[in-house]
Chain A
């Protein structure tokens, strides 16, 4: 953890978010909601587009370009007139965040009292259909997640100092949480899960739809599974919703979480599957925005060729990777802001044309976009 603090304070402020308060968002949202993209949001189209576009050289140039842009920003820092405000801002943020962390740790105020955790789990257990071996049909074991609560809570309250807004908008009964996805590693999902478990009254377990690649991994896949996360298949989602669970879906999927630093707060195309399932099961959709996670890890470029070789959806290259290797994917202690929106209930035929469904998907997306913009407006910096 110590090394992590060092590298994050070294890197999080400079690349210039703070001096540009609303990075690349305010002027014009890159995916205007008004014109529903006919096929832009479909995965199929995306993959064909991918096949046409990126040659290895194009990728290389893109990477070089990204590196150059970052170098330019760093170079600007060395010029005295830029250095002063930037450095001042960075130091102020780091100082304030550090103070917050220290006071949290000193007062031990970040930990939920054990009896309160007990109460929350008792409530959860009462509503779950568990086998005599303490697992449900999807592999969720509340006793297991109970063991990890301190670790999750440390991440959630100290490391990310998460701030949660309007969590009471999440209804009882079946619901679909639809969120932006970012940060290279799915800490945003963990934070949403922690907020629903620790800050909502009564608590709920979030069942997120996990990328197939991740559930196949040793340790991580098992951990996800025991903590209630489920392989992202429509059939699993349908059954969870039928059982009145709260399901978290990131319609951007891997392309969202692995986007590069330059694309932060620009949502990638949404899949349509979640909306069709919501229509089919009459499930309210709660848009969720996680602000902060988009800056936690700086992905300069996605090393597609290597990703293909190791059969991973992506291999993000971060500035500190030469130094730290895969550890450089760990998140900086950015501040998380989680915004829950008003539930949206859609009507219609789940088997409608893509064009019809796309309109509804765009509504959800723009709701998330609004929440994101609100979060970016409200924050004073990346760390505070």
Chain B
């Protein structure tokens, strides 16, 4: 009989972690072990969950006692409201830990969910940003620095450990029950836009994001991939799909205002995130489509309504907002 494959998921308590667990558990009948400080409500009975910090030594036991086939590293912090120090060490040390375990215990496959935001919105972005484009996301948004560092860290891991199949996925804005910046933005009662700006945006349904993660786990695939779903569309058309009123504000006053509101904790968005509704950053997803026959299943309208519905089974409020892809 074939041995049941074992997957370790970091950040299993997050929305994507939960969706991935369900898919692995039900459809692929994998054994799933999760690592996350956050709870996992209504967890399937035979899914193990270590409610500890990935940086703790106790995690190592897991790898000693199990022959892990894949590590899905989703436990990256994307929330700028967390202190920058904690944010930085969590992401970098957490990733380092994961990669070290993989090396030490000969895990054949590591999938890291990075983000398309590493490229950053810029007025002079090409219309198709390829995987080899420079990661300029932190140019004006320092909160992106550690995510870029993680992405590059993973890239250097490729040539240090050629025997391990490492995949770095860079999806665009993920929409759905996730609590990330773009989903939260679309959930606002009145959606702010910038006067005179209407960038192109790419969105990806959370289920499609999970499908891409599963696809990445397939043996033979390695490298850095943009994960592109439906065609890009102008921001205002995306907002129109929510059926909500917009609030057009001039960009000259907004950064200062947003900064103040964020400092006072009256707004959930740091001022630098305004660039995402100002300039485009559209990814070129051809490589994954050609190499792995990646296809998305959900349309933009599906994704938007999923974001507005909010999660059906994430009834808890996570103490630490860990989100895969902001």
Contacts and interface: CB of A to CB of B under 8 A. Distances in A.
Interface of A: 131-133, 135, 137-139, 141, 212, 215-222, 225-226, 230-231, 233, 235-236, 239
Interface string B195-222: 1111010000000000000000000000
A235 B134 CA distance: 14
Contact of A239 (B127, B232, B300): B127
Nearest to B129: A235
Contacts of B127: 137-139, 230-231, 235-236, 239
B280 interface: yes
Given A131-B232, A215-B124, 4 more contacts: A135-B234, A141-B234, A218-B195, A236-B127
Contacts, number: 68
A137 B251 contact: no
B234 A235 contact: no
A215 B233 contact: no
Contacts of B28: none
Contacts of B200: 135, 139
Given A216-B279, A218-B194, A218-B195, A137 B231 contact: yes
Contacts of B251: 218
30 contacts: A131-B230, A131-B231, A131-B232, A133-B300, A135-B200, A135-B231, A135-B232, A135-B234, A137-B231, A137-B232, A139-B234, A141-B234, A212-B124, A215-B124, A216-B123, A216-B124, A218-B197, A219-B195, A219-B196, A221-B196, A221-B197, A222-B196, A222-B197, A230-B127, A231-B123, A231-B127, A233-B124, A235-B126, A235-B127, A235-B128
A222 B251 CA distance: 14
Nearest to B124: A212
Contacts of B234: 133, 135, 139, 141, 226
A220 B234 CA distance: 15
B125 interface: yes
Contacts of A215: 123-124
Contacts of B195: 218-219
Contacts of A226: 198, 234
A79 B254 CA distance: 56
Instruction: Select the residue from A137, A226, A233 with max chain B CB neighbours within 10 A.
Output: A137
A235 to B, nearest CB: 4
Main secondary structure of the interface of B (DSSP, over half): loop
Nearest to B279: A216
The 9 A-B residue pairs with the shortest CB-CB distance, nearest first, are A218-B196, A216-B123, A131-B231, A219-B196, A133-B233, A212-B124, A235-B126, A138-B127, A222-B198
Contacts of A137: 127-128, 231-232, 282
Interface in B105-145: 123-128
A233 B123 CA distance: 11
B29 interface: no
B128 A132 contact: no
Contact of B126 (A133, A218, A220, A233): A233
Nearest to B195: A218
A233 B126 CA distance: 7
B139 to A, nearest CB: 14
Contacts of B124: 212, 215-216, 231, 233
Choose among B198, B230, B280 the residue with the greatest number of A CB atoms under 10 Å from its CB.
B198
B126 A231 contact: yes
A4 B230 CA distance: 46
B237 interface: yes
A146 B299 CA distance: 27
Nearest to A129: B231
A226 B199 CA distance: 10
Contacts of A239: 127-128
Contacts of A221: 123, 196-197
B128 A231 contact: no
A230 B230 CA distance: 21
Contact of B125 (A133, A222, A231): A231
